[in-house]
Structure 1
Amino acid sequence: MYSYTARPSLLENRTILITGAGQGIGKAIALSCAELGAKVILLARTASKLEAVSKQIIEQGYLSPIIIPFDLATAKDKDYIQLAEQLSEQVNQLDGLVNNASIATDLKPFTELSIEEFQQIMEVNVNATFALTKYLLPLLQQAADASIIFTSSSVGRKGRALWSAYASSKFATEGLMQCIADELKETSIRSNSVNPGATRTAMRAHVYPQETVTDNPLPEQIMPVYLYLLGPDSIGINGQALNAQ
């Protein structure tokens, strides 16, 4: 497990947007950031899940989150522009953007994948990540130091049989992260990727139905690397591919 201990006030006065925040790793990131003082912006497709996470954060006495129901699978250019405009009216800056939301298909040979399945995975895992980062960049530029986290995978660093669509999307994610990191290297914005590893999530259970779920850590247990990258201790870390465990 990545070794880092966050101090209680690590993320005070920071505003952090997390995609896929309604469940799994995204929910854990949101709760952990709120606990350390951040104002969190929760973005996901299902409003009821976001409301449940927001309720949990408020009940624990943390700053009230901003909820944004948003479907990354169907959003168009105008939707991202509208989202950026909406956020600009609500917050002065973004100190962190966690591109966490991802989807996967059942494991199958690439010859059995439909073009539609492949395109949908690329849409959510790559195109949406690109669009969010592009249109939210002006808000990130308003922060004294800002951190962009891209969600990768072990198959985004070395491909494996049956993973062609998901692996392709994560190789693309790594490339996008590196290009953005290089373009922004003279700025106050850092860009890095995180491979969460095998984690106890609904997506993992769907892809590996035969796996014993308790063999994998809970999302809450892989938070150290995310908190490190979102806080000021990681200033100067840019273009790196990190592992949560």
Structure 2
Amino acid sequence: MTCHIEYHAPKDLLAGKTIVVTGAGSGIGRGAALAYAAHGATVVLMGRTLSKLEAVYDEIEKAGGPQPAIIPIHFEGATYHDYELIAEKLGEAFGVLDGILFNASVLGQRTTLGQYDVETWNQVMQVNVNSHFYLTKALLPLLERSADASIIYTSSSVGRKGRAYWGAYAISKFATEGMMQTLADELENTTRIRVNSINPGGTRTPMRANAYPAENPLDVRAPEEIMGTYLFLMGKDSQGLTGQAFDAQPPKKA
């Protein structure tokens, strides 16, 4: 069962918090980084393309947000040791983390499983599943130091009900939902960390354009229009909610 909420965040919702956003250079990751910074968070921008991360960094500073940090990383090629080094650097710089938004993903191919390219399959699983596990494991000790921490995994409608031709992407999102539920169950009653997932729905992003090349991008919402759920789950108003699957957009009317 999934749920959707309408939420209007107070301006100081995330004041004093340090939050990691993966895939922060464009699309939903960029939108979330800007939204978190606008509500007081120090945002750690993680992604593959340094120039895009620097552009988001500049936007945050221009808007008067807390000074962010940048960690460029190639999720496909990074080893667990790379994530351990990141955790060490973040521990030295901040001492504690209050949240992670796992947003970085790759689409892969839109074809049948029988025709799916094996190398592409491995790439999708590495970026969409393995890197999430590596980063979660490496950063958990820093999250455990927080009085109120949140982990958000990015899901998809095709990761909640399988759909033809979505291949490794859909299956990786099923794995993401499983990771969320498993971690939430492990951490419930033992820490102050809540773990949930968000299906952003149709959103105006480069990945969406790649998946639906004939679609008019103006027919779907821009990332900044769906940030209510992202803010809600990262802030104190979602305390006590864990192991749940959220939709960033309301269900379509019949």
TM-score of the superposed pair, with normalisation by structure 1:
0.99
**Residue deviations 1:200-240, cap 9 Å, x none?**
00000011101111110000001000100000000000000
Which one-letter code corresponds to 2:114 in the other structure? T
Write out aligned runs for 1:129-168 (5 A). 129-168=132-171
The question of 1:7 aligning with 2:16 is answered no
* Mapped contact 2:109–2:120 kept (Cα < 8 A): no
**Counterparts of 2:224 and 2:110, CA distance in 1:** 26
SS in 2 for 1:204: helix
Counterpart for residue 211 of structure 1:
215
Deviation at 1:109, TM superposition (A): 1.3
SS in 1 for 2:152: strand
Deviation at 1:90, TM superposition (A): 0.6
Deviation at 1:106, TM superposition (A): 3.5
The question of 1:68 aligning with 2:87 is answered no
**Residue deviations 1:13-51, cap 9 Å, x none?**
111000000000000000000000000000001111000
Counterpart for residue 41 of structure 1:
44
Which one-letter code corresponds to 1:11 in the other structure? L
**Counterparts of 1:238 and 1:77, CA distance in 2:** 26
* Mapped contact 2:15–2:39 kept (Cα < 8 A): yes
**Counterparts of 1:106 and 1:239, CA distance in 2:** 29
The question of 1:240 aligning with 2:244 is answered yes
* Mapped contact 1:156–1:171 kept (Cα < 8 A): yes
Counterpart for residue 22 of structure 1:
25
Detail structure 1 runs of 4+ shifted over 3 Å in the superposition: none
SS in 1 for 2:146: coil
Q: Any gaps of 5 or more consecutive residues in structure 2?
A: 250-254
**Counterparts of 2:98 and 2:236, CA distance in 1:** 10
SS in 1 for 2:195: strand
Deviation at 1:3, TM superposition (A): 0.4
SS in 2 for 1:217: coil
Deviation at 1:78, TM superposition (A): 1.0
User: Which one of 121, 126, 134 corresponds to residue 124 of structure 2?
Assistant: 121
Counterpart for residue 197 of structure 1:
201
Let me know the Cα RMSD of the aligned residues. 0.8
SS in 2 for 1:199: coil
Counterpart for residue 221 of structure 1:
225
**Residue deviations 1:105-134, cap 9 Å, x none?**
231111221111111101000000011111
* Mapped contact 1:105–1:207 kept (Cα < 8 A): no
**Counterparts of 1:219 and 1:170, CA distance in 2:** 20
Deviation at 1:2, TM superposition (A): 3.9
Which one-letter code corresponds to 2:128 in the other structure? N
**Residue deviations 1:160-181, cap 9 Å, x none?**
0001211100000000000000
TM-score of the superposed pair, with normalisation by structure 2:
0.95
Identical pairs, percent: 53
The question of 1:178 aligning with 2:181 is answered yes
**Counterparts of 1:2 and 1:235, CA distance in 2:** 15
**Counterparts of 1:72 and 1:36, CA distance in 2:** 28
Write out aligned runs for 1:96-111 (5 A). 96-111=99-114
Aligned residues: 245
Counterpart for residue 62 of structure 2:
59
Which one-letter code corresponds to 1:8 in the other structure? K
* Mapped contact 2:32–2:227 kept (Cα < 8 A): yes
